[in-house]
Structure 1
Amino acid sequence: MKNTLGGKKVAILVANGFEQVEYTQPREALEKAGAEVHTISLEAGKVKGWKHDHWGDEFPVDKKVEQVNAGDYDGLVLPGGQMNPDNLRDNEKAVAFVRSFFSEGKPVAAICHAPWLLVEADVVEGRSLTSYSSIKTDMINAGALWKDQEVVIDGGLVTSRNPDDLPAFCKSMVEVIAKGVSAGEASLNKTNAQA
């Protein structure tokens, strides 16, 4: 995977309370593949992770969400955690930032509770995806074709269920970003929308 993403820039959008391992492992995979990675958040300074059942570590924020747009990046990664997407989906700039990756034809990877943010951005209808099991009904109610699989790839949209799926998620995320597949275009073959 070395230098697969050389010359590419990827945004990871988080708010306080993101599931820490769903940030650190994808970031590491992106950097190992040669990408320049920016941590984007609602506030400047630092953002705090969540480790299973308690607060985790703090990580530096590279840019606030109002300072960036999809045109600055080659892909977007959305970690989960219950608090993180709930905080982000209540912020109009964060939702618009996510939506713009779909309208501008950039790859998007979302894991665990992060697809909540995709629902808020109104981009899941008719799309094959997965998520943390407790938000399955939210996905279906928003028109998604929900699948219980470790990774679902629909065009340039990559989704996974939980931290156990991170190896498959990271591999698929890097591949889709390397190819530059648009998250805005659904896979033509809905029956085989997975890796």
Structure 2
Amino acid sequence: MSKKACVFLAPGAEEMEFVISVDVLRRGDVNVTVAGLPSNATVKCSRQVNIVPDCSLAEAALKGPYDLLVLPGGLGGAQALAKSDEVGKLLKEQESSGRLIAAICAAPTALKAHEIGIGKSITSYPSVELQLTEGGKYSYKQDKVVVDGNIITSRGPGTAFEFALKLVDLLNGKEKAIEVAKAMLLTY
């Protein structure tokens, strides 16, 4: 049975983190649904690239549960994810079931806003480190990709391939991640 992932797409999302995550997961034989916030309308990302989601967040929720939820970064996108009650509900259900949650760049701030992964080790884009360490809810690391149980976090655009390959590894095994990396002329 194919693994399923839902990647959230909110206005202001970081294009590279979003596209690399979706692309690498699909290359890794993961069935990916792109869920638009708040609807399935075209989303303008942080560098003015327009992307059309597969469906709205509400429609995506009906297709769950997912093996993995992915939150791309970008300050505007992360803020939209942090403010969304629907995203919070999906994250809480995902966490309580022990399924995977991944966030890159500024998106770990949405995890904090929804109180996801409390007490775990995380990383993020450097500019939001203080926001994440305030209150002592997380153990902060500066590694490119941090995995702590079912929570996976990463630093930013330059770590997006490592992040996405780690997600393939966690869902479909290290051999599959190596195969995908090799086809893209990357090392994993």
Unaligned runs of at least 5 residues, structure 2:
174-187
1:127 maps to: 120
Match of 1:125, SS state, is: coil
CA RMSD of aligned residues (A): 2.0
2:95 maps to: 102
Aligned pairs (5 A) from 1:142-153: 142=135, 143-153=137-147
Identify, as 1 or 2, the structure richer in helix. 2
- 1:76-135 deviation digits (Å, cap 9, x = unpaired): 111000000101211211111122211111111110000011001102321101001111
Match of 1:18, SS state, is: coil
Structure 2 CA distance for aligned equivalents of residues 161 and 70 of structure 1: 29
1:115 aligns with 2:111: no
8 Å contact from structure 1 (residues 71, 104) kept in 2: no
2:46 maps to: 50
2:27 maps to: 32
Aligned pairs (5 A) from 1:165-184: 165-178=159-172
Match of 1:72, SS state, is: coil
Deviation at 1:66, TM superposition (A): 6.3
170-179 or 125-134, larger mean C-alpha shift = 170-179
**Taking every aligned residue pair, what percent have the same amino acid on both sides?**
28
- 1:40-76 deviation digits (Å, cap 9, x = unpaired): 122122222222xxx1122234232365168421111
Unaligned runs of at least 5 residues, structure 1:
1-5, 180-194
Deviation at 1:23, TM superposition (A): 0.6
What is the aligned counterpart of 2:149 among 155, 167, 185?
Answer: 155
Q: TM-score, normalised by structure 1?
A: 0.81
Between Structure 1 and Structure 2, how many residues are aligned? 172
Q: TM-score, normalised by structure 2?
A: 0.84
Equivalent position amino acid for 1:31 in 2: R
Aligned pairs (5 A) from 1:2-41: 7-41=2-36
Cα distance change on mapping 1:84 and 1:124 into 2, 3 Å? same
Structure 1 CA distance for aligned equivalents of residues 67 and 164 of structure 2: 16
Equivalent position amino acid for 2:6 in 1: A
What is the aligned counterpart of 2:52 among 40, 56, 59?
Answer: 59
Match of 1:148, SS state, is: coil
